Amino acid sequence: MSETIFSKIIRGEIPCHRVYEDEAVLAFLDLNPLASGHTLVIPKEAVATLDQLSDESSAAIGRVLPRLARAVMAATGATAYNVLQNNGLMAHQAVFHVHFHIIPKFEGRGLGIVWQPIEVLPADLIALCEKIAKQAAEGTGKSHGL
Ligand code: AMP
């Protein structure tokens, strides 16, 4: 259970600029947008990070994300956008209720990205691939959280 400002928005205790709602999902405009149309898509299930989200809420989010991306593009005229999803303080998460940002990209506006790949050895890639694949195959258990 993760009680945050987003729980209050879901319950209607704090106003938001709502663009979409169904029984499992709410989407509203970000109050500090990186670009016009910057939208947050959240599950009503109150968990902090994506790895903690139930299959049902994940499916509900997945079902509407593309539709909401299309709506944001159509409304803003953007031809490019980023979907951002932060998990944990180190990953710039500020509100500990799972959320997806849809951020339209315009010239000089939108999400700025610094992409710094690490060096990796082929043997390490193979070992890591096996380790993650094993966890993914067995991964029906609870998340350890962040
Ligand atoms: P993150 O860093 O991924 O946790 O992003 C949290 C986002 O929530 C930020 O972009 C904030 O601007 C946004 N935010 C926080 N409070 C509100 C609110 N009451 N209404 C709309 N957006 C909010």
Q: For residue 101, which phi and psi values (nearest 5 degrees)?
A: -90, 135
Q: What is the pTM of this model?
A: 0.94
All domains of the chain in start order, with CATH: 5-114 (3.30.428.10)
Residues 17, 38, 97, 99: which is the catalytic one? Answer: 99
Pocket test for ligand 1, best of 8, 34, 40 (most atoms within 8 A of CB): 40
**Is any ligand 1 atom within 6 A of the Cβ of residue 90?**
no
**Is any ligand 1 atom within 6 A of the Cβ of residue 87?**
no
* Strand positions, DSSP E, 10-132: 18-21, 25-29, 39-43, 81-84, 100-104
Spatial separation of the C-alpha atoms in residues 135 and 132, rounded to whole Å: 5
Strand partners, 104: 81
Q: 28 pLDDT exceeds 90?
A: yes
Q: How far apart are the first and last CA of the chain?
A: 14
Nearest residue CA, atom 17 of ligand 1? Answer: 31
Spatial separation of the C-alpha atoms in residues 112 and 92, rounded to whole Å: 13
Token reading at 36 = 């016009």
Please write the tens of the pLDDT for every residue from 87-130. 999 999 999 999 999 999 999 999 999 999 999 999 999 999 99
Quick one: 58 exposed, middle or buried, by C-beta within 10 A (0-12, 13-18, 19+)? middle
Q: 22 pLDDT exceeds 80?
A: yes
CB atoms within 10 A of CB 2: 15
Three-state SS at 85: coil
Residue with tokens 């989010």: 61
> Do the Cβ atoms of 27 and 71 come closer than 8 Å?
no
Per-residue model confidence (pLDDT) at position 144: 52
**Distance from the alpha carbon of residue 33 to the mean position of ligand 1, in angstroms:** 9
